[in-house]
Amino acid sequence: MRLSLDTRDVGRVTIVHCCGRIVAGGESESLRSHIAWLLRDRRAIVLHLGDVAFLDSSGLGTMVRTLTSTRQVHGDLKLCNVPEHVRKVLELSHLNKLFDTHESEENAVAAFYQPGSRAETPVPIERRVLCVAKDADVLAYLRELLRRAGYDVHTTNHVGDARILMRVTRFDFLVLGPDITASPMTRQAFQSACASLPVVELDDDFPTREAGEAASAVLEKIEAVVKPKTA
């Protein structure tokens, strides 16, 4: 089984779900190059190993190299959902203490949000915002727009991941895209979790509006939410 890598961002943490074999050759090189690509603009990496069927010595060496590369740029790499056969390999090779391992994705994400985390820590900013939207381009636009406006911005395109972030850190308000999809149960749980937070909902035509006009509109909506607290 060839190695597949499914990557998603959960706030400032990037989770890489590994499925298949991490072995010498193309699989190890694929993982190494993928992490190197992520490190261009990310510093908090989680390897989800729950679906790794086999790990050889070369593959483990690749994991060690990716950890070293991440720490060289002042970031960190953590493991989660480590299967028993991989856990035994780590113990037999005396590398179990080298890697910071966690039972679940949520625990690994929470570890990056703890004070003193090795990952890049944003400069303290007055307002922290969580943006949830399905479209990655919309999230990228919102992230840069709101950062430049002075907000500490965290983004995700999964409602379930938004709930994780809301459990591990505090947000001052939410920005919700028009294209959010989730099961009725997940959506209901999410709505319950954010019931006490101010919410800015983007219009249905936000993704296709002229960029400057869209920026003005969303900043105006946010100001209406934030201003009462700072008045």
Class of 4-112 in CATH: alpha beta
195, 148 contact by CB (below 8 A): no
Measured distance CA(9)–CA(46) in Å, rounded: 10
Residue where the block lists tokens 């999230």: 139
Architecture of the domain defined by 127-230: 3-Layer(aba) Sandwich (3.40)
Position 190 scores a pLDDT of: 79
Calculate what percentage of the chain has a pLDDT beyond 90.
59
Please classify residue 96 by burial: count the beta carbons closer than 10 Å to its beta carbon, then call 0-12 exposed, 13-18 middle and 19+ buried: middle
Measured distance CA(35)–CA(47) in Å, rounded: 10
Q: Hey, what amino acid is at 82?
A: V
Q: Which residues of 56-99 form beta strands (DSSP E)?
A: 76-80
Task: Express each pLDDT in 131-158 by its tens digit.
Answer: 998 888 888 899 989 988 889 999 998 8
C-alpha pair distances (Å), 140 with each of 22, 78, 145: 31, 24, 9
Calculate what percentage of the chain has a pLDDT beyond 70.
91
Structural domain boundaries in the chain: 4-112, 127-230
Strand, coil or helix: what is 5?
A: strand
Strand, coil or helix: what is 162?
A: helix
54: confidence class by pLDDT, cuts 50, 70, 90: very high
Record the pTM: 0.84
Measured distance CA(16)–CA(7) in Å, rounded: 4
Task: Express each pLDDT in 168-218 by its tens digit.
Answer: 999 999 999 877 766 667 777 777 877 888 989 888 888 888 888 888 989
Position 124 scores a pLDDT of: 53
163 backbone dihedrals φ, ψ, rounded to 5°:
-65, -40
pLDDT at 62 over 80: yes
pLDDT at 230 over 80: no
